[in-house]
Amino acid sequence: MSDSFSFRLTGTHGAARAGEIATAHGIVRTPAFMPVGTQASVKGVHPDEVRASGAGILLGNTYHLMLRPTAERIAALGGLHAFMRWPYPILTDSGGYQVMSLAPLRKITEAGVTFRSHIDGANVELTPERAINVQILLGSDIAMQLDECVRLPAERTEVERAMKLSLRWAERCKRAFEAAAPGRALFGIVQGGDDLKLRKESARALVDIDFLGYAIGGLAVGETQTVMLEVVAETAAALPAARPRYLMGVGTPADLLEAITRGVDMFDCVLPTRNGRHGLAFTRFGPINVKNARHADDARPLDEESRCPAARDFSRAYLHHLFRSGEALGGTLLSLVNLYYYQDLMAGARAAITAGNYSDYAALTKGQWSVRRDIDGDEE
Amino acid sequence: MSDSFSFRLTGTHGAARAGEIATAHGIVRTPAFMPVGTQASVKGVHPDEVRASGAGILLGNTYHLMLRPTAERIAALGGLHAFMRWPYPILTDSGGYQVMSLAPLRKITEAGVTFRSHIDGANVELTPERAINVQILLGSDIAMQLDECVRLPAERTEVERAMKLSLRWAERCKRAFEAAAPGRALFGIVQGGDDLKLRKESARALVDIDFLGYAIGGLAVGETQTVMLEVVAETAAALPAARPRYLMGVGTPADLLEAITRGVDMFDCVLPTRNGRHGLAFTRFGPINVKNARHADDARPLDEESRCPAARDFSRAYLHHLFRSGEALGGTLLSLVNLYYYQDLMAGARAAITAGNYSDYAALTKGQWSVRRDIDGDEE
């Protein structure tokens, strides 16, 4: 294992990029999808199974972990890798997004954000310095700056205010991060809503501060996919080629394919596990809702050619039964199916970019969804 | 695989017996503990993991499966083994116990029992013939007669009435079972509450009918452990040595050790998985409730010497966190810990009986619970 964080491109096709991120806990091949381990657990799935699905890196949530079991406790227990038994790379977010979406009575000032814990009602302060301190305690390989994410649509003045506050917080985060162990990386987060001019201004300013990677934040928060992809394309183009680009909280398989086309290297999203728990499987043939009555007598597996054992070994009728009966095994099996699907989608993208045929890969993948949807798939 | 059901004793120590049940789906070593797969799933645990825990045979619930997804649907999908992907032996109960405990508006007559489905309110009739028909459709290796189980304490006349009705149903079940595929077995169920005379009368009458195995039913329904064990001892002694004896719905690790001493070969119980979901782990050192605050900072595993990976690989602090955070992984991991514990308890019993030192084994096992309870364990 190397002690230094690095990123190198291994291939490009148009704006799409394949690469490798080296961390103290191993290599992450990009484009990479990061399963979300909100509370130090990818919901319902054993960490060995998450690894078997092909995941090279997980995301942990600073907001949840600082409240419970607390970052100090995790640090005393050897850090997040040891705590959740995931000895591979981990990225932690800064907690900013969850404060905005989950915490009651939040108040944002120049200093930071104060909020009530959704767990015990305690008053908590999250400053840029504290967000970095928590992430250093957790021991993540990649930390994120604290930012303010604005829900769209929003007034331009409001978007600009939050973007500029995020830039000032970015500088404070970078200073605070100097205390981190060598080999860890801090990423800046581009804000600016759906305003391309603000996005470019944010990207330029972050590049001036100089981070080891850059995230595109504040998307998938209410805008259309068309708007999101335009912002992604313009923002990615404004970021240095030599640094990884991470589109936060996105998204559907189609979102991922399109964002890769526009130069994104990293993603995280709860969709594979959340949809899995609700009975929706992502497959080569498009999404399949196993709760639909039409699957009750269907002896076929979800996909006999899948790399995922759960997609090959159990009948749709059995999966249907598990969901109808409220058996937890159903959610676990479909979460696995979806985690494998997302990882295989990324592996295919990496191979296609390297081979110089990514646009064909994306088109064929999407074409297969729509062709078979009428036969095997379900509308969401 | 053999097509014929058989049982042979491989060792005895006092009344304790070690043996092997041969079925069309493989060998079951006794004393055997059967995890409960109520709705065609051992709650929260993948069937491969259930197998890895050492389970040789599962129990499936006729009552639940006949209502959902229905026995006819499971039969059309290839039977319960294929449906739930458990290619090893399966025992199904008759549904009688669940009708008594779960179904609203149940009515018992000579013909059978009618009840309202707890799922959709439909009126359902369960006769001895239908109970056998359902179990034949499910394709279980061992089927149980329909019986009436009386909750204790109860009037002797009521216990006697139910015992005698169960005997008449036993005869009807045996006739109905002649339609079953060769190699399957039907067990009779001794009833009679806590009345030793009624128990012996029931046992004698069932032996006259002649079953391939005999269960002791109607226990762990409100009586003390002392009463239960006295009934077990007297009933087991009244049953033929050459047939397996199955104590239904029992119990705690201590119950199992004591019942084995008294000649019982088979057990089923939801305790390992139900307690696991509620945060209680069975270990060599006694039960440990991982939800207790004292485990929040404890980096030690539940048992570093356990054969169960979940007991070795995760800290008590992490398991505590999973339960405090409502993460489903906690219930799955502790269910596994408990399933392994029960299987290892049985494996130890089999080895000790064969070696002729079962009473030492039982005493040492129980001694270790109490010695270490003050240090590592928790009161339940």
Question: Percent of chain B, pLDDT > 90?
Answer: 90
Q: Convert the pLDDT of each residue in A101-157 to its tens digit.
A: 887 788 999 999 999 998 999 999 999 999 999 999 999 999 999 999 988 899 999
From chain A, the residues in CB contact with B46 under 8 A are: 329, 332-333
Distance between CA atoms of B186 and B194, rounded to whole angstroms?
24
Which member of B299, B327, B329 has the closest CB to residue A77?
A: B299
pLDDT band (50, 70, 90) for residue B185 = very high
pLDDT band (50, 70, 90) for residue B181 = confident
A329 touches chain B (CB under 8 A): yes
Q: Convert the pLDDT of each residue in A66-114 to its tens digit.
A: 999 999 999 999 999 999 999 999 999 999 888 888 877 889 999 999 9
**Catalytic sites of B, residue numbers:** 93, 268
B331 touches chain A (CB under 8 A): yes
Pick from A63, A318, A339 the residue to mutate for testing the B interface (most B CBs within 10 Å): A318
Q: Convert the pLDDT of each residue in B91-117 to its tens digit.
A: 999 998 888 888 778 899 999 999 999
Closest CA to A238 of A207, A194, A211: A207
pLDDT band (50, 70, 90) for residue B52 = very high
From chain B, the residues in CB contact with A297 under 8 A are: 73, 76-77
Tell me the shortest Cα–Cα distance from A43 to chain B, in angstroms.
Answer: 7
**For residue B374, is pLDDT > 50?**
no
Distance between CA atoms of B219 and B217, rounded to whole angstroms?
6
- Check A194, A268, A344, A376 and give the catalytic one: A268
- Is residue A268 among the annotated active site residues? yes
**For residue B380, is pLDDT > 70?**
no
Which B-chain residues 143-162 have CB contacts (< 8 A) with chain A? none
B73 touches chain A (CB under 8 A): yes
Question: Percent of chain A, pLDDT > 70?
Answer: 97
**For residue B375, is pLDDT > 80?**
no
Pick from A51, A77, A314 the residue to mutate for testing the B interface (most B CBs within 10 Å): A77
Residues 6+ apart with CB under 8 A from A119: A67, A68
Q: Convert the pLDDT of each residue in B135-167 to its tens digit.
A: 999 999 999 999 999 888 999 999 999 999 999
A79 touches chain B (CB under 8 A): no
The DSSP-derived string for A337-366 is HHHHHHHHHHHHHHHHHHHT-HHHHHHHHH
B321–A68 CB contact, under 8 Å = yes
Closest CA to A42 of A346, A353, A240, A271: A271
Region A228-251 average pLDDT = 98
Q: How many CB pairs under 8 A join A and B?
A: 106
B44–A331 CB contact, under 8 Å = no
Give the H or E element holding residue A163.
helix A156-177
Look at residue A371 in the predicted model and tell me its pLDDT: 59
B119: closest chain A residue by CA: A325
Q: Convert the pLDDT of each residue in B358-367 to its tens digit.
A: 999 999 999 9
A65 touches chain B (CB under 8 A): no
A36 touches chain B (CB under 8 A): no
Which member of A41, A321, A325 has the closest CB to residue B322?
A: A41
Residues 6+ apart with CB under 8 A from B98: B61, B62, B63, B64
Which member of B39, B320, B329 has the closest CB to residue A327?
A: B39
A171 touches chain B (CB under 8 A): no
From chain A, the residues in CB contact with B43 under 8 A are: 327-329
**For residue B50, is pLDDT > 90?**
yes
A324–B44 CB contact, under 8 Å = no
A68–B325 CB contact, under 8 Å = yes
How many Cβ atoms sit within 10 Å of the Cβ of residue A371?
Answer: 13
Look at residue A4 in the predicted model and tell me its pLDDT: 85
Average predicted confidence (pLDDT) for chain A: 95
Tell me the shortest Cα–Cα distance from A69 to chain B, in angstroms.
Answer: 6
Look at residue A133 in the predicted model and tell me its pLDDT: 97
Look at residue B371 in the predicted model and tell me its pLDDT: 58
**For residue A252, is pLDDT > 50?**
yes
Does this model's pTM top 0.80? My answer is yes
B325–A39 CB contact, under 8 Å = yes
Q: Are A55 and A343 in contact (CB under 8 A)?
A: yes
Tokens of A230: 């335009």
Average predicted confidence (pLDDT) for chain B: 95
What long-range pairs does B374-379 form, CB within 8 A, spacing at least 24? B375/B285, B376/B283, B376/B285, B376/B286, B376/B288, B377/B283, B377/B285, B377/B286, B377/B287, B377/B288, B378/B286, B378/B287, B378/B288, B378/B289, B378/B292, B379/B287
**For residue B379, is pLDDT > 60?**
no
Pick from B325, B333, B334, B335 the residue to mutate for testing the A interface (most A CBs within 10 Å): B325
Tell me the shortest Cα–Cα distance from A221 to chain B, in angstroms.
Answer: 26
Region B66-76 average pLDDT = 98
B296–A43 CB contact, under 8 Å = no
A321–B44 CB contact, under 8 Å = no
From chain B, the residues in CB contact with A331 under 8 A are: 328
B317–A41 CB contact, under 8 Å = no
**For residue A220, is pLDDT > 50?**
yes
Look at residue A377 in the predicted model and tell me its pLDDT: 43
B78 touches chain A (CB under 8 A): yes
Q: Verify cis geometry, omega within 30 degrees of 0, for the bond prior to B244.
A: no
Which member of A69, A76, A328 has the closest CB to residue B321?
A: A69
**For residue A322, is pLDDT > 70?**
yes
What 3-state class would DSSP assign to B291? coil
What 3-state class would DSSP assign to B114? strand
Region B369-380 average pLDDT = 52
B122 touches chain A (CB under 8 A): no
Order across the sheet with B16-23: list the strands: B6-13, B16-23, B26-30
B327–A39 CB contact, under 8 Å = yes
Q: Are A112 and A128 in contact (CB under 8 A)?
A: yes
Look at residue A375 in the predicted model and tell me its pLDDT: 43
A176 touches chain B (CB under 8 A): no
Which member of A78, A297, A325 has the closest CB to residue B68?
A: A325
Tokens of A50: 């998450």
